[in-house]
Amino acid sequence: MTDPVMTATALERHYEVSSGLFRASRTLKAVAGVEFALYPGKTLAVVGESGCGKSTLARMVTMIEEPTAGSLTLDGKPVVPEDWASLRKSVQIVFQDPYGSLNPRQRIGTILEEPLKINRPDMSNTERTAKAREMLGLVGLRPEHFDRYPHMFSGGQRQRIAIARALMLDPKVLVLDEPVSALDLSIQSSVLNLLVDLQERLQLAYLFISHDLSVVKHVADEVIVMYLGRAVEKGSRDTVFATPFHPYTKALLSATPQADPRAKKERIKLDGELPSPLAIPDGCPFAPRCWKVQEKCRATRPALFGDAHSAACFFPENSPT
Amino acid sequence: MTLLHIRNLSVDFATASGQFRAVDGVDQDVNESEILAIVGESGSGKSVSMLAVMGLLPWTATVTADELTFDGQDLLTMDPRARRKIVGKDLAMIFQEPMSSLNPCFTVGWQIREALRVHLGMGRRERQARAIELFEQVGIPDPEKRLSAFPHQMSGGMNQRVMIAMAIACKPKLLIADEPTTALDVTIQAQILDLLASLRDETGMGLVLITHDMGVVAETAERVSVQYAGQKIEEQPVVPLFETPHHPYTSALLDALPERATEKRLPTIPGVVPGQFDRPAGCLFSPRCQFANAKCKAEAPRPSSIELGHARCFYPLNSNERAAS
C-alpha cells in the first residue's frame, strides 16, 4: 500500500471554559485521542452527532487550530505551527454552507485567484487567470461564469465553486465538512459525483465529515465513528456498516431512516441525549445511554481494540476477533 | 372522515419584480388519524401551502382556492377572529427550527401555559398541572423543573419536544409538522418521529409531515404527496410510491438517493428547479425530464387518474404494470 499523506496520532484538543469570575475554569475535551491515516485517492469518513468533535477535528487537520496534544504529520513531516503557513496549501477545506462561504462582493474569478495571489506570488496574472479558468471547467462550470457573482448561482453551483477554490493550490488533502447537507437531493447526487471524479483524477485524500450515514456509506472507504470527542469505532466501510461492533454505531445505523417503506424497522431507541462535553462520564462515554451497560463500563474507559476493524467497547455486538 | 379539504389552492407573492406563484393549483385531502407526507425540494411550495391553511402568510401573499375547508368549516370566508380560535387549538403546527420559533424572553412553561389560557381558559392550577402532564407525554424528564427553563438552557431536541407539547396542548384535530426533525441528530430524530406517530395512535389526530427526507417519509408516512415548483405532481400511498412512481420527477428523485446507488456514480437530475423568471411554458419538469418531448414543452399536463397517482404527466411511468394487475 502507498504511504499515507497525512497521519494523526493521539490527537487532542481541549478548551478552557470559564465558569464564573471566582471559580476555576473547566476543561472541555472536544477531541480526545483520535488517530487516523489518510491515503491518496481514498476517503476517510468521520461520522457522529453534533457535539462529537468532528468539526474540531477538521479545524486541527486544516491547521486552523493547534492540537493540545498529539501530533499530525503531512508527507512524513511533522506539522508544527511554525510551518503552518507553508503546509496549509496542501490541506484545503470545503465548508457546509455554500451561501456563507463565498464572498458576495467578489466575482468568481477573483474568488478562485485569491489563493494563488497569496500563496504563489511568483505566478503572473495571466497564468493565474488561465489556471482559474481551467479549474472552472474541471468542476463542471462554464467559462462565462468566470465574471459572475455568487448570488447568480444555485446552491449546487456554489458548492462547485467552493470545491474549485479549494483545489486551486493543488492540495493533497481535501477536508469536506458536510459538503452536501445543505443541498437538495437532486443537486446532492451531482456534487457527490463530482467529488468522486476529482478524487480519481487528482488522487486526492478526502476527510469526509458528515452526519448523514447514507451519504457516508456511498462515498467512504474507511469510517471513524465518534462519540463525545472519542473514536468509538473504526474500520472499512463495508465491515462497519455490515457488522458494527460498538452499540452506539449500531444505534446510529438503526436510527437512520431507510428510504424503503417495506424495510423492517428494528429501531434501537436510545434514551436521553448526549451528555454535556464538560461532564463526560468516567467510564465509557456511551455508558449512560447504552442498553448493554454493566458495572465495568461505568468504572473504566474501554480503549479501541482490534486491528483492521476496531471498537472501544467491552461487550461489542459482533465481537471483534 | 376528511379533516382538511383543499381544492385548487394557489398562493401568489407580490415581489419587487412582479407576481410570483409559489403554490399552483394544489388539491389535497387529509383524513382523520392518517399521516400524510408532503415531500419536495426547497422552493416546491410545500411549506407555503400549509402556512396558507394556517393563515400565517405575510400580507404580500394572495391566497386563492376553490375550496378550503377544515373540519367542515370554510376557512376562506371565515372572519379572522373565528379563525384565530381554531388556529393553535384544532389546527396546530410545529415549525422546523425550535430554537428560533420559541420566544427567548419567556420560560417554556410560560409559553405552553399561554396556549392553555388563551384557547381553553383554564385556571392557574389547572394550567400548571396540564403543562406537567404534557411534558411527561412528550418525554421531557423532570417536567416541573424544566417548565421554568428558558429555551436557551435546553438542547435542540428538548426544545422540539416543547414545540410538540405546545402544539398538542389543546388536543388538535390536525397537526402540521414542518420539517420537525431536520435540525436534529438522527438518534433524536428517531425519538421525535416515534413520538409523533404514537400521539397519532393515541389521539386519532391527522398528521401532515412536511419533509425533504425520503427516509423519513418511507418510515413514517402512510400517504405521500410530491410537490415540484409549487405544483402537486403525484400522490400515492407510501409503498407504491417507492416501488412504482408514476411521475418522472419522483422516479428520478428516488434514483438519486445514495442508498439506492448500485455504482460509484449516482444518477443525477440535470438543471435546477425553475425560479420566478424561468418557469417553462408546458410541464414544469420538462427542461429536466429525460422523457420530455415537444408536447411536454408546449402544453401543461393535467393531473391524471387516481390509478396513476394523479401524476401531472402526459406519459406516466409504470402505467402498464398497474393496468395489468
Tell me the ipTM for this assembly.
0.82
Side-chain half-sphere of B276: how many Cα atoms within 13 Å? Answer: 10
Write out residues 159-198 of B within 8 Å (CB-CB) of A.
Answer: 185-191, 193-194
In whole angstroms, what is the distance from residue B168 CA to residue A77 CA?
A: 59
18-57 in chain B: CB under 8 A from chain A: 41-42
pLDDT in tens, chain B (325 residues): 799 999 999 999 998 888 889 999 999 999 999 999 999 888 888 999 999 999 999 999 999 999 999 999 999 999 989 999 999 899 999 988 888 889 999 999 999 999 999 999 999 999 999 999 999 888 888 899 999 999 998 888 889 889 999 999 999 999 999 988 887 888 888 888 988 999 899 999 999 999 988 999 999 999 999 999 999 999 999 999 999 999 999 999 999 998 888 888 888 888 888 877 888 889 999 999 999 999 999 999 999 988 899 999 999 998 875 444 4
Pull the grid cell for residue A146: 468566470
Collapsed DSSP state (helix, strand, coil) of residue B133? helix
The CB-based long-range contact list for A87-91 (8 Å cut-off, 24+ gap) reads A87/A63, A88/A62, A88/A63, A89/A115, A89/A119, A89/A169, A89/A170, A89/A171, A90/A169, A90/A171, A90/A172, A90/A173, A91/A6, A91/A61, A91/A62, A91/A63, A91/A171, A91/A172, A91/A173, A91/A174, A91/A175
Cβ of B185 and A49 within 8 Å?
yes
Residues of B within 8 A of A213 (CB-CB) are: 186
pLDDT at A21: 80
- In Å, how far is B264's CA from the nearest CA of chain A? 7
Nearest CA in chain B to A215: B258
The b/e string for B256-289 (b: 16+ C-beta within 10 A; e otherwise) is bbbbbbeeeebbbbeebbbeeeeebebbbbbbbb
Residues in chain B with CB shorter than 8 Å from the CB of A272 are: 141
The whole-number pLDDT of residue A1 equals 64
Distance from CA of A96 to the nearest CA of B (A): 14
The pLDDT, as a whole number, for residue A134 is 92
C-alpha cell at position B124 = 392557574
| Closest-CA distance of chain B to residue A218, Å | 6
Beta-strand pair A205-210/A173-177:
parallel
Lookup: cell for A299: 468504572
What integer pLDDT is reported at residue B325 of this predicted model?
A: 43
**Domains of chain B: which residue ranges?**
100-169, 254-324
In angstroms, how far is CA A70 from the centroid of its own chain? 18
* Nearest to B218, CA basis, from B238, B244, B190: B238
Say if residues A139 and A74 touch (Cβ distance below 8 Å). no
Q: Is B142 on the interface with A (CB under 8 A)?
A: no
Query: Which three three-digit cell numbers place residue A315?
Result: 461487550
Predicted pLDDT of residue B324: 44
CA pair distance A212, A235, nearest whole angstrom: 17
Query: Which residue type occupies B280?
Result: P
- pLDDT value of residue B273: 83
Within 180-209 of A, beta carbons closer than 8 Å to B belong to 184-190, 192-193, 196
pLDDT value of residue B34: 94
Q: How far apart are CA B53 and CA B49, in angstroms?
A: 7
Residue spans of chain A under pLDDT 50 = 320-321
Distance CA B167, CA B175 (A): 7
Are A217 and B42 an interchain contact pair (Cβ–Cβ within 8 Å)? no
